[in-house]
Structure 1
Amino acid sequence: MRMQLLPRAETAVRKGHPWVFAESVKSQNREGSAGELVVMYDRRDRFLAVGLYDPDSPIRVRVVHAGSPAVIDRDWWLGRARDAATRREEVFNAKTNGARCINGESEGFPGLVADRYADTLVVKLYSAVWLERWAEIESVLREVFGPRYLVLRVSRNLADATAEHGLVPGFQGDQGDEVVVFSENGIRFEAAVVHGQKTGFFLDQRDNRARVEQLAEGREVLNLFSFSGGFSLYAARGGATRVVDVDISAHALESARRNFALNPDLDPTIHEGIQADVFEWVGQSGASYDLVISDPPSLAKRERDREKAIVAYRRLNGVALARVRQGGILVAASCSAHVSADEFFGAVRSEAKRSGRRCEELWTSRHADDHPASFPEAEYLKAICLKCAD
């Protein structure tokens, strides 16, 4: 298929943006099917880029290559996958066998992520462009990453299209365990690879969990929105004297208890789980802690939610700061792509200033190495660490 874009979209693609929205299409020579290759030309009829067509999505084309013409075939995908594997040579080691292997658009696989948990590779599709070429992509991923088991997962909006293509989510080929135990920096976790959130675990916070470990010695720790206890296990290994998880999900709290049990070197008696709505609980609790971690789910699912989300981040971290003891630390994180790092950091800093407490900023962080972000919409993760002197 041949396509021309409006000038603004043409400029964006030249600068490396991987999305072409439907309203940015100036003309196309015919209708196409999901996953079909689209060759885009500039206003002077010169090659601009090639992408995957998605007729039912506002993101009409997902760019895979721009600049000079190229042949997009199995060898092309194989090269991209090998590049991704090479970038992770220092991520996987004797103590870590769980990490992201491919991070979507930022590594040339738009709408696709692949996470490895021990000998299981979990591939999640967020776009219908991959359904027609799944057999080809599966063979590439098996060749490059060599998993014993491979799980296919799809976003909810793709359920019907997946069935129409004769694909059945779940294990492809040999059947492995639906809950896989893997290691991250020497700590063992379980990942629900078939039915758990995302691909089974939140791998993106690995580096921030390690930072928390370095802060935890001798401290009582409060982990808000704790999910399966990732930050809590690191804090326990770092020498925390008490760790309290708060999450609305009983299932998540039970998973955290199982994760503690997977690590016999950690003392489970210092760990407590509280099932509650975090927003309500943290405002009502009078208890204080030496280290408070606030890592809520995304508070801005859409652009129109951005302003409300910023207000919510201010309110949440304001009450979280109130739970921090003198000399204590707040680690606040956001995974809302529609809220920029500057907006999030500004919200937390403004609450610290409003509290009247003297707070020292120890660090800010962004994406881990296995979660590269090559364009603004991909830059969702950010965290900030404040130490309260009084």
Structure 2
Amino acid sequence: MQASQLPLFFQHLRSELAQAPNEVRRLFHGRGRHFEGLEQITCDWLQGQLIINLFKEVDEVFLSELKQGAIALSESELWSEKQGSTIVIQYRYADGAPSEVLVGELDVRPIVEESGLKYQLDIGRNQNFGLFLDMRYGRDWVRENAKYKNVLNLFAYTCGFSVAAIAGGADKVVNVDMARASLAKGRENHKLNDHNINQVSFLGHDIFKSWGKIKKAGQYDLIVIDPPSFQKGSFALTKDYKKILRRLAELLAPGGQVLACVNSPSVTSEFLIESMKEEAPQLTFRERLDNPPEFMDVDSEAALKVLLFS
């Protein structure tokens, strides 16, 4: 990370902020490696709150100039026009990912919008605040293709896909995630959007020990698989993904679709395509969804991969 590159960071940040809609957005994505010397910094706009994430420890000069630039931004006309209130640096590399508030007061549980839908975030206590912004196009696709469908959402987290599916007219969504606290947040996300909770199920179980319950609620017209890259003691992507794919034949309704996702720089699209051929040969790869342009990456295979099969 190079302090000499920070003027580029703030130039890009101001340009993106100026044209950002009144929605949650990634404004700077250094991890896509398009900005030399800024590979370990990102910046998200949470409709008034600016969250700067550092993924690697930086020297005192870099940190001092970063803070000075952020404070200068808060004193600008642009900041006033966008009704900015808070600027925070989150040290993602440090134990507990602590946050430092530079400007204003941090609202740790803001409600934001994406594509017209509301989501409750949780900032500063965890590495992830409750909505993966690079999956915006995936949620949009589900919303556009969920009408009258029975949807299974595996590794549901805070149920972003579920919210999108119900908003798109799905008949029913079954969310499965072993983190019951995340599912509770998902329930609140549905309530924020005035959804009928009777159409939504929340199964707080280990997927690999719950196939009976999952199958009982099927068959499914659309299955979304969006696992973590690694979860200690419960999920290792390259080993365990195939265990899910081989279950698709008994879960998927005739003519059903599968949206299979992977967000590990070391696992390519080809892994998913070949694994699907091996474990669920009745399904054919149809397309890879684009990622939002703000998540541009010098290597598309290192970025999020969202693949459609049917």
What's the TM-score, normalizing by structure 1? Answer: 0.68
Deviation readout 1:217-262 (Å, 9 max, x if unpaired): 0001111100111000110011101111111111101100111111
Alpha-carbon shift at residue 207 of structure 1 (Å): 0.5
Q: What is residue 79 of structure 1 aligned with on the other side?
A: 8
Q: Which position in structure 2 is the counterpart of 1:372?
A: 296
Deviations 1:130-155, CA, capped at 9 Å, x for gaps:
55422311333451873411222213
- Which secondary structure does the structure 1 equivalent of 2:110 belong to? strand
Matched, 1:238 2:162: no
Pairing partner for 1:290 from 218, 221, 234: 221
Question: The residue matched to 2:28 in structure 1 has which SS?
Answer: strand
What is the alpha-carbon distance in structure 1 between the residues aligned to residue 17 and residue 272 of structure 2? 29
In structure 2, the CA distance between the partners of 1:276 and 1:211, relative to structure 1 (3 Å rule), is same
Paired residues for 1:175-186 under 5 Å: 175-186=105-116
Partner of 1:149: 86
Matched position secondary structure for 2:58: helix
- Change in Cα spacing, 1:209 to 1:219, as seen in structure 2 (3 Å) is same
Q: Which amino acid aligns with 2:309?
A: L
Q: Secondary structure at the match of 1:370?
A: helix
CA distance, structure 1, for counterparts of residue 275 and residue 230 of structure 2: 13
Larger mean Cα displacement after TM superposition, 253-262 or 337-346:
337-346
Q: Which one of 53, 57, 65 corresponds to residue 124 of structure 1?
A: 53
Q: Give deviations 1:109-167, integer Å, cap 9, x for gaps.
A: 221111111111112211112554223113334518734112222135x359x9xxxxx
Map Cα deviations across residues 72-112 of structure 1 (whole Å, 9 max, x no partner). 64xx523333235535766x324xx1111111242422211
* C-alpha RMSD of the superposition: 2.7
Task: Output one character per residue of 1:326-373: Cα deviation in whole Å (capped at 9) or x when no partner.
Answer: 1111111011221122223322233221xxx2x343321353212121
Number of equivalences: 294
Task: State yes or no: 1:104 paired with 2:30.
Answer: yes
How far apart are residue 293 of structure 1 and its match? 0.6
The answer to whether structure 1 residue 328 and structure 2 residue 259 are counterparts is no
**Which is strand-richer, 1 or 2?**
1
Instruction: Determine the C-alpha separation between the residues in 2 that align with 1:138 and 1:279.
Output: 46
Match of 1:48 in 2: none
Structure 2 unmatched ranges of 5 or more:
none
Is 1:191 aligned with 2:139? no
Measured against aligned partners, the alpha-carbon deviations of 1:291-316 in whole angstroms (never above 9, x if no partner) come to 11110001499xxxxxx743422222
**How far off is 1:320 after superposition?**
3.6
| Bigger Cα displacement from structure 2, 341-350 vs 118-127 | 341-350
Cα distance in 2 between the residues matched to 1:148 and 1:296: 34
Greater relative CO, 1 or 2 (CA 8 Å, sep 6+): 2
Contact 1:117 1:191 in 2 (8 A): no
Q: Over residues 17-74 of structure 1, what are the superposed CA-to-partner deviations in whole Å (9 max), with x where a residue is unaligned?
A: xxxxxxxxxxxxxxxxxxxxxxxxxxxxxxxxxxx4xxxxxxxxxxx6xxxxxxx64x
Judge conservation of contact 1:192–1:200 (CA < 8 Å) in 2.
Answer: yes
Between the aligned residues of both structures, percent identity stands at 21
1:1-390, aligned counterparts within 5 Å?
52=1, 73=4, 76-86=5-15, 92-94=20-22, 97-105=23-31, 106-108=33-35, 109-129=38-58, 132-142=61-71, 143=73, 146=79, 147-156=84-93, 158-159=94-95, 169-264=99-194, 266-282=195-211, 285-287=214-216, 288-299=219-230, 309-353=237-281, 357=282, 359-375=283-299, 379-387=302-310
Query: Partners of 1:245 and 1:232 in 2: how far apart?
Result: 7
Change (3 A) 1:300 1:278: closer
Q: 1:300 to 1:260 in 2, by over 3 A?
A: closer
* Conserved 8 A contact 2:143-2:164: yes
CA distance in 1, matches of 2:174, 2:261: 18
Q: Per the alignment, do residues 291 and 149 of structure 1 end up closer, same or farther by CA in structure 2, a change over 3 Å counting?
A: same
> CA separation in 2, counterparts of 1:311 and 1:159?
28
Give, as a single letter, the amino acid of the residue that structure 2 aligns with 1:149: T
CA distance in structure 1 between the partners assigned to 2:308 and 2:125 by the alignment: 33
What are the Cα deviations for residues 262-291 of structure 1, in whole angstroms up to 9, with x where unaligned? 112x32221111100123223764332111
| 1:375–1:220 CA distance, 2 compared to 1 (3 A) | closer
Hey, what's the Cα distance between the residues in 1 that align with 2:249 and 2:64?
50
1:89–1:275 CA distance, 2 compared to 1 (3 A): same
